[in-house]
Amino acid sequence: MEARQNEAIIDCDIHNVVPAAETLFPYLPEHWRDYMSRSDFKGPVENYYPAGAATSARPDATPPTGGPPGSDLALTRAQALEAWGTEYGILNCAYAIECVHNPYGAAALASAVNDWQIAAWLEPEPRLRASLVVPSQHPDLAAREIDRLGGHPGFVQVFLPVRSAALYGNRRYHSIYEAATRHNLAIGIHFGGVPGNPPTPSGWPSYYIEEYAGMAQVFQSQVISLIVEGVFDQFPTLRVAIIESGFTWLPSLMWRLDKEWKGLRREVPWVKRRPSEYIRDHIRLTIQPIDAPPDPHHLQQIIEQLGSDELLMFSTDYPHWHFDSPADAFPAGLPAALERKIKSENARAFYRLEARGPRDAEVHG
Amino acid sequence: MEARQNEAIIDCDIHNVVPAAETLFPYLPEHWRDYMSRSDFKGPVENYYPAGAATSARPDATPPTGGPPGSDLALTRAQALEAWGTEYGILNCAYAIECVHNPYGAAALASAVNDWQIAAWLEPEPRLRASLVVPSQHPDLAAREIDRLGGHPGFVQVFLPVRSAALYGNRRYHSIYEAATRHNLAIGIHFGGVPGNPPTPSGWPSYYIEEYAGMAQVFQSQVISLIVEGVFDQFPTLRVAIIESGFTWLPSLMWRLDKEWKGLRREVPWVKRRPSEYIRDHIRLTIQPIDAPPDPHHLQQIIEQLGSDELLMFSTDYPHWHFDSPADAFPAGLPAALERKIKSENARAFYRLEARGPRDAEVHG
């Protein structure tokens, strides 16, 4: 797909990557700089995307200056923003803060990542918006970080990894939603996470393809939990983006939840509407990687089964590798009005982004 | 739906329930009779279906003679077999043997349940077939039980609860598949299970509706594991029934697995064909409870997206309650040939059942 004249694009999933522990030193208190310099502790030791897996990075995304794919603003500008004529790009920094067991170390690192995001990404590039990295394993500390930076105009979302030690509907996380709604931020639940517990209900898988394909099930568990625990009843302005999840599983989940809610709603009397209504009102999903059928007609059926043209938001998932050419990045054969909604209008409404034509942005092209 | 003249029905999911621990005493060695009489140990303390949940039992299924729904052959005959003119009914006894920590106690109880199934269900009712209850948490003991009774013509399947401590593709379970294929038995992976670990990848849910609706995700993890670990490559004659699972999630799972297999197949070189081909060759699903959309047209789309007319098998899930009248038990608007396949032909081929017209069975109506 070539970006058409005046066709707005909002890319809801671009990954910026902390290139090295030392990158964060200017943003860390002296105690942690000292601690990280003198010990083997360098922050999270794991990440969501194994180097060398075919899905992890497109081959041309390694910066010529060194560093991992996604760590260089100039390359991100060229490959993610310019290549699409993108009006806004939403950064999701999948820094695995949730695997840091030291609570105050985790909080300090999260703050440092966010200050680095402001200095290295948001200030030099006005097309970018970002997600707050928070120590989600300690919701009170996460809420504190949201309160510290939630008023910064560059942040539009709080990043939560979909894999977590407890389901996100659980009361322990509600302080995060309270803080997010206080600052009018969305919650972005994103592929991956390193919480320590296995990614399936039946223990550890043996191979990465199981974890990768199976992540759709983790998302489904979280969506069920958010609705059934009444999160959207308690926080009626809360908006949740489901990111890098696929979406063809959603109609089946809505049908199943709606049906069983009819039989079992007595135990969750606060869930007053059909679960699918909560989903359509509060949840949005990014499109890449598309868990797409080989027959495009089947994908059109699924999109129709969603029962709303407002659920999907465009994403490239840069620098991860899901398509070879831009022409493969977007579902084919959709009505023009729906295409516009997916490419920009749904995200603009969801993230409360001001409209500006792609050609109006002074930094553009 | 009224059973039509000469329309064969094979019901692939009828639940027979052990009414009380003492029921098993005639089939237990003296040591265990003594142990259970003198201690508080009465076998599994949990079951898959909370009493009183709307999905657990239809209101008229409690036997007039007492005991839990599903424990009385006369009532099962009347409500499950006669009501449908059923040619064959497959019993799935969801006796939660997997929660018994004592390995030899678990094995003894499983054997007792199976001997009770022969005496109380299979011998008096030739329309019934049954699933072997095995201590799946100890695959070597499970294989021994399969070898003990796998030659009995009443058993057509080995029952595995979908919730398990490890994923079923794991090598630790292969001795079960080896024994099952040795006796030409199917594997039936069934809703529920009490393995001790939580039913989601993110810990324990707070409410039963989460567990009930979320069971579809547990099934999906198991299907991924079986394929990716190469179970069907190692046991090319293995057949797996997915029971009480819903099926509208399957097209999305096939698409996602096929797509990611293209990118990540290098780590699992034994998976030589697209994952969806393994599913279509080796896996079947029962239809109740249907995770059905409100619009029947959408259900027809999903059934078409399955890409095979051989995947679905009729079930009532008796005595659980998913529909008020038989007319609601079967998807509407399917072609007659597909309807025949779902109602009997797919199950007949899968379970290797001899054809006999419903009017030919001497015990029938």
Instruction: With CB atoms and an 8 Å threshold, state whether A265 touches B217.
Output: no
High-pLDDT (> 90) share of chain B, % = 84
Instruction: With CB atoms and an 8 Å threshold, state whether B255 touches A249.
Output: no
Q: What is the 3-state secondary structure (H, E, C) of B189-201?
A: EECCCCCCCCCCC
pLDDT of residue A49: 85
Closest residue on chain B to A257 (Cα): B213
* Nearest CB to B305 within list A53, A228, A293: A293
* B360 pLDDT higher than 80: no
What whole-number distance in Å separates Cα of residue B361 and Cα of residue A246? 49
* Nearest CB to A221 within list B163, B200, B249: B200
Evaluate the omega torsion of the peptide bond into residue A319 and state whether it is cis, within 30 degrees of 0. yes
Instruction: With CB atoms and an 8 Å threshold, state whether B202 touches A267.
Output: no
Distance from A158 to chain B by nearest Cα, in Å? Answer: 19
Starting at the edge strand found earlier in the chain, the sheet holding A186-190 runs: A10-14, A88-91, A128-133, A155-161, A186-190, A240-243, A283-286, A312-313
Closest residue on chain B to A54 (Cα): B263
pLDDT of residue B32: 97
| Alpha helical stretches, state H, chain B | 30-38, 73-76, 103-117, 139-149, 174-182, 208-228, 231-234, 250-264, 275-282, 296-305, 336-340, 346-350
For B122-134, what is each residue's pLDDT tens digit?
999 999 999 999 9
Rounded average pLDDT over B229-252:
98
pLDDT of residue B358: 44
pLDDT of residue A65: 82
Helix (H, G, I), strand (E, B) or coil at B91: strand
Distance from A92 to chain B by nearest Cα, in Å? Answer: 21
Q: What is the DSSP letter of A326?
A: G
Rounded average pLDDT over A216-224:
98
Q: Which residue has the higher pLDDT, A69 or A328?
A: A69
Q: Does this model's pTM top 0.90? A: yes
Which two tokens mark A291?
């868990």
Closest residue on chain A to B229 (Cα): A206
* Nearest CB to B166 within list A203, A210, A221: A203
What residues in B contact A220, CB-CB < 8 Å? Answer: 214, 216-217
* Nearest CB to A214 within list B170, B213, B224: B224
Helix (H, G, I), strand (E, B) or coil at B216: helix
Closest CA to A202 of B293, B220, B354, B209: B220
Distance from A259 to chain B by nearest Cα, in Å? Answer: 7
Q: Which residue has the higher pLDDT, A46 or B294?
A: B294
Which two tokens mark A77?
């500008």
pLDDT of residue A3: 46
Instruction: With CB atoms and an 8 Å threshold, state whether A208 touches B170.
Output: no
Distance from B269 to chain A by nearest Cα, in Å? Answer: 12
From the CA atom positions of chain B, what is the Rg in Å? 20
Closest CA to B188 of B136, B138, B250: B136
What whole-number distance in Å separates Cα of residue A163 and Cα of residue A219? 8
* B69 pLDDT higher than 50: yes
Instruction: With CB atoms and an 8 Å threshold, state whether B55 touches A260.
Output: yes
The residues, any chain, with a CB within 8 Å of residue B346's CB and separated by 6 or more, are B284, B310, B311, B312, B313
Helix (H, G, I), strand (E, B) or coil at B89: strand
* B185 pLDDT higher than 70: yes
* A335 pLDDT higher than 60: yes
Q: Which amino acid is at B149?
A: L
pLDDT of residue B79: 94
What residues in A contact B224, CB-CB < 8 Å? Answer: 205, 210, 213-214
The pLDDT mean for chain A works out to 93
Residue of B262, B264, B302 to mutate, interface with A, max A Cβ within 10 Å: B264
Closest CA to B250 of B306, B200, B299, B212: B306
pLDDT of residue B6: 56
pLDDT of residue A363: 42
For A337-348, what is each residue's pLDDT tens digit?
999 999 999 999
Torsion of CA B75, B79, B82, B85, to 10 degrees: -150
What residues in B contact A204, CB-CB < 8 Å? Answer: 167
What whole-number distance in Å separates Cα of residue B311 and Cα of residue B253? 14
For residues B236 and A240, the answer to whether their CB atoms sit within 8 Å is no
pLDDT of residue A6: 56
What residues in B contact A197, CB-CB < 8 Å? Answer: 201-203
What DSSP string describes B283-341?
A: EEEE-SS----SSHHHHHHHHHHT--SSSEE----BTS-S-SSGGGSS-SS--HHHHHI
pLDDT band at A327 (very low <50, low <70, confident <90, very high): confident
* Nearest CB to B252 within list A248, A258, A261: A248
Closest residue on chain B to A212 (Cα): B260
For residues A173 and A233, the answer to whether their CB atoms sit within 8 Å is no
What residues in B contact A289, CB-CB < 8 Å? Answer: 259
For A150-193, what is each residue's pLDDT tens digit?
999 999 999 999 999 999 999 999 999 999 999 999 999 999 99
Question: A with B: how many residue pairs have Cβ under 8 Å apart?
Answer: 228
Closest residue on chain B to A298 (Cα): B305
Instruction: With CB atoms and an 8 Å threshold, state whether B195 touches A202.
Output: yes
For A251-261, what is each residue's pLDDT tens digit?
999 999 999 99
Which two tokens mark A313?
């938001």
Distance from B306 to chain A by nearest Cα, in Å? Answer: 11
Helix, strand, coil proportions of chain B in percent (round to 5)?
Answer: 40, 10, 50
Closest CA to A207 of B227, B281, B335, B276: B227
* Nearest CB to B202 within list A207, A221, A246: A221
The pLDDT mean for chain B works out to 93
* A351 pLDDT higher than 80: yes
pLDDT of residue A360: 46
Evaluate the omega torsion of the peptide bond into residue A289 and state whether it is cis, within 30 degrees of 0. yes
Helix (H) or strand (E) holding A302, with range, is helix A296-305
ipTM: 0.92
Torsion sign (Cα): A95, A101, A102, A107: positive
What whole-number distance in Å separates Cα of residue B157 and Cα of residue B176? 11
* Nearest CB to A255 within list B220, B261, B292: B292
